Structure 1
Amino acid sequence: MRPSRSIRAAGALAVLALAVPATASAVPSVTSVEAKTGNPGVTFLTDPTGAGLTNTQTRYVLSLDGWVLGYVEDNGVAAGGVLDYSALPSEYREPMTAQEKLAYPAAQTGLQAHATCSGVASLTDPDTVLAWQSGAREPSYAYVPFQKTSAGLGDDPATWIAVVKRATGVDLATVTDPRAECERLGGRLEAADSSTPLANALVAAATAPLQTQLADLRRAKDAVDRSLADTRTSLTTTRDALTAARTALTTARDALRAADAAYQALFLRPIDLSLATRRFQLGDGVALVTGVATDPVTLTVDVPRGQRRALGLSSTTIVEATGEINAEGALLVRLVPDRAIARKLRRALTKRRTIPLVIYAESGATNDTVRATLTR
């Protein structure tokens, strides 16, 4: 089946293109996961419990001001990164100063979307960190970038280039060797964490076992094909070999049917529904459906039946869409209701802190459900 590039939504639900702007909160949200990257020689046959899978890699999903990017933790800097406002609900942080948000322990992450110059006091001073960020009352980064280019998050290099020049005398706009300039200041240039396509980052771990099984089945099928060829050759030799050849042919056909049945069974693998975060504000929900590209996927977001009337809604369903899993085995969507529903939900959130949600995905005979919470 050729993957569809379109998706129909009752609530302006859209497929997320990676690093493409969309309506979202102006403050960052960082979701991290420790992914298993595999160990040499460790397979299910040698280690059914998975205890030997000790190699891990931290992966991030960053949502900021309508931009969504995936990152891999690979620069070795474990702190002083993008702030995670999912740890700072709006009502909780309202009385906080910018400096208090910048230093709040639970909001700290190891994600650096830009290169930085560590070890230079003038660049780690909180006033300097806040100076380059527009709307400094809600800072997004706990660092000052040390590069002349954008990180692809709608950021403007001019905002920090002027601050770095004022703090250190270094004009990043004209620098050709930032590492040398950083070391001249007595610091160390730290590279940004690597950006990676979001679908690849989130789906790779889920599809790796499937790809391994497919490779095993292809090898088994090749072996069966070779066996059939050998059998057909032996049929031309002697009558005495004919009986043995027929037996081998029957065995080979049985093996081929078993291999084909197993191969087809892979395409009945259940879909899996997950969220970037189970607590999100209106317009910030991101859902990922993984599985095999066969039947279309129908996705709905519902409020509890008992709360529909109190919320002023005509239906419990606030978002509904259909789409297709792509060739990489993933469908990535934003959970955005239409304007009329959004207005009612926003009005309801002024009177209550949260609204419980149920996200339901269905594809063919398989389905999955995730519960979430809409916050103000």
Structure 2
Amino acid sequence: MNNKFFANQLIKWYEYYHRDLPWRQTRNPYYIWLSEVILQQTRVAQGLPYYERFVNTYPTVFDLANAAEQEVIRLWQGLGYYSRARNLHQTAKYIAGELNGVFPPNYAGLLRLKGIGPYTAAAIASFAYDEPVAVVDGNVYRVLARVFGIDKDITGGEGQRQFSKLASELISREHPATYNQAIMEFGAVHCTPSAPDCLLCPLQQECLAYATGRIHLLPVKDKKTKVRERFFNYFVIVQNGRIAMRQRTAKDIWHKLYDFYLTETESNVQSIDEFSDNQFLTSIFSQTILTPPSRIFTYILSHQRIQAQFWMLEASPETVLNLPSDLTFFNEDEIENVPKPVLITSYWKEHFF
């Protein structure tokens, strides 16, 4: 297939069918960067209100750089993958402080920034500066694999190199920004994973997967993410209308977010007797009134499935509690304002409001 024909067909389709999204109305690299980081691992419908909140709260990279990290994470709350928020903040501080608020004007310079990989650098370089660098994301893999009948594994190095090479050959040199938007949009809303609209596809006559009946077999993705099952037991310690929480500091999920005292087990707990080897819990059980456990809350990450139960422990005002050093009492307003995992927020809303 002629490369120019492929690019022109996608661009024509895009001009007629694309969604009207705010980050497509700007050449400002800061806004484009925000949108790309927010949309990683996130659907557009979910990411759009977060983008609008970030733009309204931090209209310039200087505003984001000057914000407290906890405020940034709090605004990010609910999107998951919180390392994205921390990298976003650190990179904003670097751009504001070391680059005088000016983003590098090309792919190579953008790639040197923390948290910006090949895809994000290509997106910013093409959308903001019209640099002809091809973006390659899940949507692009799917479109290219189907149209060109490529059965190489997209999770392997050889396959990724082949797709990147092909993407670079196909990109429109005259309209790189529009082309990149077009191929991603086409994969997102037309050449979808499970229900592609092949009958009305502008590339149908050239599509090898359609011609050979392999639409639902491509792209090939051999590696399956092994899901880790985890069982969390939270203890919500209440005294004088205040609740003990701690900031997560370990190299684990939800780094720097706030939750309650936690002990992890190998399965769901049936009785508090299973905590008999935990000296802190054994001690505090004798000092507090223990309520029955909550229902099991389930939270699914890309690589983990968490089942959590919550026990409330109520201490009288005069009881002297010997809490671990990382636990601090917060009132309800303070808890509302600290960044929390969605799992904690779900429990909080169900039991305290």
Give TM-score, length-normalised by structure 1: 0.28
Which is strand-richer, 1 or 2?
A: 1
Question: Max radius of gyration: which structure?
Answer: 1
Greater RCO (Cα-Cα under 8 Å, separation 6 or more): 1
Higher percent of residues as helix? 2
The normalised TM-score by structure 2 is: 0.30
